[in-house]
Structure 1
Amino acid sequence: MASTSDQRGEAFPPGTVTLTGYQESIASARIVLSPQPSSDPNEPLNWPTWRKVTNMTLIFGMTLAVFTSLMVQTVFWQQMKVDMGVSTVNLNNAQSANLAGVALGCLFFIPLTVKYGRRPSYLLSIAVLAGSMWWASKMKTNAELIVIAVISGLSGAINETAVQMTIADLFFVHQRGAANAVYFGAVMMGSFLTPLAAGSQAATQGWRWSYTTLSICLTILFVLFLFAYEETKYIPVYVGAPNTNATTRSLDDGDLKNTCGGGSEEIKSPDAIAKLDSVPSLYVTTYTPHTYRQRMRLWTPTDESLGRLFVLPLQVIMLPHVLYTSLQFAAVIAWLVLVVAMISVIFSMPPYSFTTAGVGYMTLGPFVGNVFGTLYGGPLSDWVVVRLARRNRDIFEPEMRLHLLCVPVVTMAGGLIMFGVTADRGMHWIFPSIGGAFYAFGMGSIGEIAFTVLLDSYRDLVAESFIVVAFFRNAISMAVPFAMVPWWLSMGLSNMFITIGCLSLFIGLFYVPLLIWGKEIRIKLAPRYEKLVAKKRLIG
C-alpha cells in the first residue's frame, strides 16, 4: 500500500505508520508491526529469526567480499608497480574503471533482480566476482588490470541496492536500523579491516597470494549461497498463479487471539484487527510451508514490465528523499575512496615510509571508528525512533531518525580535516589514524541513517530508489582518483582536506531542511509516489 491510515481515520503519507500501541490485556505499550505481515509463513516477514539471521549472515559475507575487492587493491600499489610495471596513473584509471562498472551495472542488473528474484542475481554476482579475482591473482598487463576492474565492478554492482531490497523483504520498520548496521558493518570491514589483513599477507607472500585468498573465500561463499541462501522475493496469493500450498479452514477463537497479537511482544495494527470484522465468512486461508527445494528456487518471475522497470529510476530520482540519500552516500563514499587512496600514497612515502603491511595497518583506526558509528546509526537509531513515536501519539515518521545526525555530521568533517593536516605535517601516525576514526564514525552513522530513512519512506520503490543512490555514489566517486593528485599538487594536502571537510559539513547539513519539511514533502508528493508504484505493478 502506498499510504495508510490509523484507527482514528487519519490519512498517512507514504512512510508514516503506527509504530507503537497500548495493549490493555497486559497494560503495556507494544511495538506495532509495520509493514503488516500476512498469515502466510512463507512470507519473509514471518520467517523465524534463525532463517532471517542465516540470510543476513550470507549477505554480510557477500558485502564484505564485494567491498574488499573494491578497496583492497590500493594496499598493493607499491608491489604492483614493481611487479607489473604499471604507474600510479594506471592504477588510478583502474580504480575509476571499477567504479564505472559498479555505476553501470546497477542500472542494468537491478531491474532483473526485481522481476526475477534476489537469489539468481546474488549467485551470478558472486560467481563472476570470484572469477575476476582468480584472474586478478594472475594478471600481468595494464590491459588486464582495466578489464578486471570493469568486470569486478559490474559483478559487485547489485550489492547496495539488492541488499536494501532484502532488508525490506525481511524486516519491520523498528528493525531496519539494526539490519542496516549489519550491512554497513560489512561495508566498513571490507573497506578497512580486510585490507589490513591483505597488506600483512602481501608483505610476506606477495600481493598475488592475497588475491588468491580472496578468490578462495568467494568460491566458498558461492557454494554457501547456492545451498543456504533463501529467496526473499514474496509473491502473495493474489498475484500471479494461485498458491497450491494454500487451503481454507474455519476461524476459531485461538486464531482471533493470535491475529490480534494476544500476549506477544509485537502486535498487529488496529487496521489489521478491524479487517477481521469485514470478513464475509468464518473461513481463513492456511498455508503449507515451502519445501527446501522451493525455498532454494533459482527463478521467481513476476509479470512486471521489464521496460518500465528500467525507466522508473529516471522518474524516482525527482523524489527529494531519494536525492538526499543519493547525495549523502555519494559524498561519504567519495571521501572513503579518497582517504583509502591517500593512505596508500602518503604513508608509503617519507617521513612515514611504511611497508605494505604498515599501509594496511593504517585502516585500523577508521575501522574502530566505524564500529561505534554502526552502533550509533543502527541499534541506537531503532531505539530512539520507538521512543519518539510514543511521544508522537504512537505515530512514526521516517525523518525521526535524522535527529541523530547532529553528531556524525560534525565528526566526519572534523575527522577529514584532522587526517589531512596531521599527515601533511608528518605527525605521529596515531593522529591521522584518529582523524580517520572520526571520519569513519560519521560515515557509518550518516550512511545507515540515510539508507534507513529512504527505506522507511518509499518501501514499494526501494529497488528503483537505490538504483539512483548506487549510480550517484559511483558516478561521483569515479572522478575522485582522477582529481586526487592534481588537487593535492595544486592546493597542498592540508588545504585539500580542509576544503573537503568544509564541503562535507555543508553536504551533511542538508538533513536539516529534510527534518523540517520532510513530512510535508511526502504528503505533497504522495499522488506521484502512488502513480509510480501503480506503474511498476502494471502488467505487460
Structure 2
Amino acid sequence: MEQPSEGVTQHWPPGTMLLQTDREHSKEIVLQPKPTNDPNDPLNWEPWRKYLNFALTCLYVLLVTEFLCAATPTWGPMHEQLGFSWATLNNSYAIGCGFLGIGAVILTPLSLKFGRRPLYLISILVVFAVSIWSAKMQKPVDIMLVNVFSCSAGALSEVMIQMTIADVFFVHQRGVMNAIFIWTAQIGGSLGPLVAGFVTVSQGWRWVWWWNVIFLGVCLALFGFLYEETKYIPPAGVASVSSPESGVQQEGKDADDKMTQTVRTRSLDERGVSPPLGATSNIPRKTYRERLTLVTATPGEWSNFGRHFWLPFVMLATMPAILYSALSYGAQVAVQNTLSTTMSSHMTLPPYNFSSDQIGLMNMPQFIGVSIGSLIVGPLSDRFILYRARQNKGIYEPETRLWLLLPFIPFVLGGALLYGIGIQKGLSWPVIAVGIGICSFGVAPINIVLLTYISDAYNDIIGDAMVGVTFIRNCVSTAFIFALDPWFASVGIQNVIISMSLIATFILSFAVVFLKWGKKFRGLTAERYQRLTLLSNDQAERT
C-alpha cells in the first residue's frame, strides 16, 4: 500500500480498514464496524443471543431452500398422475428462479424500512400457506402459481441473511458465518430432494408438502417467540466506542501509536470468536416484549423508502465489484440448476430408469461436496484475512478474500464437464455422482468468498447490493433454464453443459482483475458510494 508523507492523511477506499493493531505477532483486533456504547446494539449482544438469532435464520434458510428444491423428485409421479409435461415442469422451475429475483426487489425495501423480523415472519407464513396449496395441486396452473408465490416470498432467504450477518457480526467473523449460511442453503438444496425422494416412494408425493407444512409451522412459532429484531437505530446520544475515523490513516510512528491506543480492541478467544463487549452507557436494556416488537420502522418520508426499488440497479451499473459478484454467482447457480433439472428429467429414462428415491440419493454427492468445501473455506477465510492484515500493518483490503476463490474454479469446471459428458454417453451413475460432488465442492467456497467480499467492501449498502446480486443471479439462471429444452435439442446435453461451464469459468476468472485493480475500482467509486450510502438511509444508521 502506498503511504503518504508524514503528517498527511489519506482517505481509504470503501472497505479498506484497520483490522489489527500494528504490533508484531499481535492477536488484538480492531472491531469493524465500530460498536456503540448501547447495550441494545446487536454488535454488543451476548454471544448466545447472536448465535440463537443466527441459528433461527439458518433454520429459515434451510426450510425455505428445501421447499424450493424438493420438487424435482416428485416430477416423475406428477408427470404420470397429473399429466404434467416435462416442459411444464422445467418451465415452472424457471418461473420460480425468475420470481426469486423479483421477490427480492419488492420485499427487501420493506425489510430496510420496517425491520428484519416482520419480513421473516411474513415470508415463513406465505411459504407455509403455499405448502398446503402444493399438497393439493391438480392442474398445471397450480404448479406455476405455487412457484410464483413461494419463490417471491422465499427470495428473502437469499438476501436478508446477509443483512442479519452484517447487523450482528464483525468483519473478522463474517467468513465463518457466510460459510454456515451457504452450507445451510446448499444442504436444503441437496438433502431436501433426497428426503423428498424417499417420502415420495413411501408416502406419496403429496406428503412431501404436508411435511413442509409441519416443519414450517414449527419454524413460524420459533420465530414468533425467539427471534429478536437485528435492525439497529441508534437513539440520541449514543456514541461509538472507537474514536478514529475508519477511512483515514495517519502516517508516522506517533500517529500509529496514537491510533493503537485509541482504538478499542479485544483478543480472540481460543475459538477465534470475540467475547461480548459489555456496553458502558446508562441506556436501559430492552425488555423481552420490546425485543420482539413486530415493526422497527426507520423515520423518514416514503419517498426515501421508494429509493430502494432503484438503488440496487444503480449499484450494479456503477460498482464493478457488485456486478462481478452478481454475474459470477448467477453463472454458478445456472450450472447447478442445470445439473439438478437434467438429473431429474434424464435419469428417470434409460439407461438409468431411476425411481424418485434414487433421484433423491443422487443429491448426496452435492451434500458431501458442499460440506467439505464450506468446512475448508469458512474458517480459513477469516484466519487468512487476519494473517494478511498483520503483513500489511494491520490494514485489511476486501480483495484479500478473493485469493481463496482461485483454487476452487477448476473444480466447478471439471465437475460439470464430467457430469455432462457422463450423462450424454450414458456412463454409470457413480461417474455422474462424482461429477456432481466435484462441482459442488467448488461452488460453495466460491459463493462464500463472493458474498463475504461484497459485505466487507460495501457494508453500508449491503441490503440494496444483495438485491442487485440476487436479481442478476436469478435472471441469468432463469434465462439458461428456459433455454435448456431447445438448446438440448439443438446441440445435445453434453455440449450445453460444456458451454455453460466455460462461460462460468470465464466470468469467475475476472477475479484476477479485481485482485490487481479492485482497490483502485473502490477508490474511483468512493464518492458515489458515499452518496448511495446517504440515499440508502436505512443502511446508513450506524455511522
Q: Deviations over 1:27-46 (max 9, x none)?
A: 84312211111111111111
How many angstroms apart in 1 are the aligned matches of 2:265 and 2:336? 48
1:199-278 equivalences under 5 Å are 199-238=197-236, 264-265=267-268
Once the 2 structures are TM-superposed, how far is the Cα of residue 375 of structure 1 from its aligned partner? 2.2
Distance 2:493 2:309 in 1: 42
The amino acid that maps onto 1:476 is V
TM-score when scaled to structure 1?
0.89
Q: Distance in 1 between matches of 2:22 and 2:469?
A: 37
Instruction: Find the counterpart in structure 2 of residue 537 from structure 1.
Output: 537
* 1:244-282 deviation line (CA, Å, top 9, x unaligned): xxxxxxxxxxxxxx996587438xxxxxxxxxxxxxxxx
1:288 alignment counterpart = 284
- Shift in alpha-carbon separation, 1:47–1:388, aligned structure 2, 3 A: same
Q: Closer, same or farther in 2 for the Cα pair 1:508/1:7, shift >3 Å?
A: farther
Partner Cα separation in structure 2 for residue 105 and residue 81 of structure 1: 28
Say if 1:203 and 1:357, in contact at 8 Å, map to a contact too: yes
Paired residue type of 2:235: V
Question: Distance in 2 between the 1:505 and 1:22 partners?
Answer: 38
CA drift at 1:314: 2.5
Q: Secondary structure at the match of 1:360?
A: helix
For 1:158 and 1:190, locate their aligned partners in 2 and report how far apart those are by CA, in whole Å.
15
Residue 308 of structure 1 aligns with an amino acid whose one-letter code is R
1:428 aligns with 2:424: no
- 67-76 or 444-453: bigger deviation: 67-76
| Runs of 4+ that moved beyond 4 A | 6-9, 258-264
1:140 shift after superposition: 0.8
Question: How many percent of aligned residue pairs carry the same amino acid?
Answer: 37
Between the aligned partners of 2:184 and 2:403, the Cα distance in structure 1 is 25
User: Which secondary structure state, in structure 1, belongs to the residue aligned with residue 235 of structure 2?
Assistant: coil
Check conservation: 1:366, 1:434, Cα contact below 8 A.
no
What is the one-letter code of the residue matched to 2:308?
A: L
User: What is the 5 A alignment of 1:342-357?
Assistant: 342-357=342-357
Residue 30 (structure 2) aligns with? 32
Match of 2:306 in 1: 307
Q: Is the 8 A contact 1:44 1:232 kept in 2?
A: yes
Cα separation, 2, equivalents of 1:379 and 1:10: 32
Q: Which runs of 5+ in 1 are unaligned?
A: 1-5, 244-257, 267-283
**Mapped partners of 2:116, 2:395: distance in 1:** 32
Provide the residue aligned with 1:53 in structure 2: 51
Contact 2:30 2:263 in 1 (8 A): no
In 1, Cα distance between the equivalents of 2:33 and 2:78? 50
User: Which 10-residue stretch deviates more, 369-378 or 439-448?
Assistant: 369-378
What residue is the counterpart of 1:478 in the other structure?
A: 478
CA apart distance, 1:107? 0.9
- Distance in 1 (CA, whole Å) between partners of 2:266 and 2:524 is 39
Task: Find out whether 1:464 has 2:467 as its counterpart.
Answer: no
Matching of residues 383-532 of structure 1 within 5 Å: 383-532=383-532
The alignment yields a C-alpha RMSD, in angstroms, of 2.2
Partner of residue 114, structure 2: 116
SS at match of 1:371: helix
- Provide Cα deviations, 1:79-108, integer angstroms capped at 9, x if missing partner: 011121111111122112212222111111
Moved more, 102-111 or 393-402: 102-111
Amino acid at match of 1:347: M
Q: Deviations over 1:169-222 (max 9, x none)?
A: 011111101111111011111111121011011111111011111121111101
Residues 32-41 or 168-177, more deviating? 32-41
- Contact (CA 8 Å) 2:335, 2:501: kept in 1 or not? no
Q: Given the two structures, how large is their TM-score scaled by the length of structure 2?
A: 0.88
Give distance in 2, aligned partners of 1:445 and 1:457.
18
Residue pair 1:337, 1:480 contacting (<8 A) in 2 also: no
User: Is this contact kept in 2: 1:369–1:439, CA < 8 A?
Assistant: yes
> Which deviates the most, 89-98 or 444-453?
89-98
| 1:165-184 map, 5 Å | 165-184=163-182
User: Quick check: 2:331–2:503 contact (8 Å CA) kept in 1?
Assistant: no
Alpha-carbon deviation of 1:316?
1.3
Look up the match of 2:139.
Answer: 141
**Cα distance change, pair 315–434 in 1 and its aligned pair in 2 (3 A):** same
Deviations 1:445-488 (A, max 9, x none): 11110111000001110011011011111112112332112222
- Aligned-partner SS, 2:405: helix
Contact 1:22 1:29 in 2 (8 A): no
Q: Kindly indicate whether the alpha-carbon contact (under 8 Å) linking 2:328 and 2:504 is maintained by their aligned counterparts in 1.
A: no
**What amino acid is aligned across from residue 536 of structure 1 in structure 2?**
S
8 Å CA contact retained: 1:71, 1:340: no
What amino acid sits opposite 2:403 in the alignment? Answer: H
Distance 1:263 1:135, change over 3 A: closer
Distance 1:353 1:188 in 2: 26
The more displaced of 519-528 and 491-500 is 491-500
Q: Which string of whole-angstrom CA distances, capped at 9 and with x for unpartnered residues, describes residues 116-147 of structure 1?
A: 10000000000000100111011111111111
**Alignment match, 1:65:** 63
Distance 1:471 1:491 in 2: 29
Letter in 1 for 2:206: R
Q: Specify the code of the residue in structure 2 equivalent to 1:499.
A: S
- Partners of 1:263 and 1:434 lie apart in 2 by 44
Return the letter of the residue paired with 2:339: V
Quote the Cα distance in structure 1 between the aligned partners of 2:7 and 2:143: 60
Alignment-mate amino acid for residue 289 of structure 1? R
Aligned length: 499
SS in 2 for 1:80: helix
